[in-house]
Amino acid sequence: MSRLLNQVVLVTGASKGIGRALAVGCAREGADVIVNYHTDRTGALATAAEIGALGRRAVVLQADVGRVPQIRRMFARARRAFPRLDVLINNAGITGWTPIWDTTEEQWDRVVDTNLKGTFFCSLAAAQWMREKKVAGRIIHISTNCAQLGVKNLVAYASSKAGIHGLTKQLAVELAPWKIRVNTFAPGPVQVERNLADDPDYDRSWGSMVPLDRTATVDEMVGPAVFLASDDSSYMTGQTFFVDGGWTAQGKIPAANMDQAARRNR
């Protein structure tokens, strides 16, 4: 059975990596998908093509979610394309590798604006649309287990994602009167383009830190997202859980890899 049949899902940062997997995964469950991207239009169009091949409709919309006017423009265009929104998946995010002593105000603002401010204002715009249309909507945030552990050279990233965990509870309480549910899941090490660019041996170096002894594929993030987007989670709101192979239970990090990634991303 298609758990999202004929529903409309907006996925931010859907041009590659986890975002693309989630967008296509929702389409496999019967959804039409709004594919957001910031700079990678080619990737977004490839995502849309995959969705179209599944017989579902895809609309590609550009916006930097770190900028509120662009969020408002994106949602205005989305409203012209679809009569309602059922699900928002806040996936867009940037890492911002830097040693703590080298963190500048500009770097901090860029990461926090994209990851935390963008998540809030996308959620607000989605909730306003859902409320107007009387849709019992679902809002899903994609976080990271770095927000739980504390990880070297990721102070802005981890802090912004930890903020999302608090925001999840706040939004869940605020939006419950309109039957809008808000939940978060936090991936552990995942084989995405940016991680493999930092370390071509990513699976070995990070997988060895994980009790399941491997990193995740992007497709392993689809199940948690669809669960939260569907009626399978109908009595869940305000929750954050980890999809990390047990990493948060153990809490080791490859310290040498963290220094290498910070140097490469200066």
Question: Active-site residue numbers?
Answer: 157
Structure tokens at 224: 């948690």
Q: Which one-letter DSSP state was computed for residue 90?
A: E
CA-based Rg of the chain, rounded to a whole angstrom?
Answer: 18
CA 213 distance to own-chain centroid = 24
DSSP string, 12-73: TT-SSHHHHHHHHHHHHTT-EEEEEESS-HHHHHHHHHHHHHTT--EEEEE--TTSHHHHHH
Maximum pairwise Cα distance, the chain: 52
Q: Using an 8 Å Cβ cutoff, are 75 and 125 in contact?
A: yes
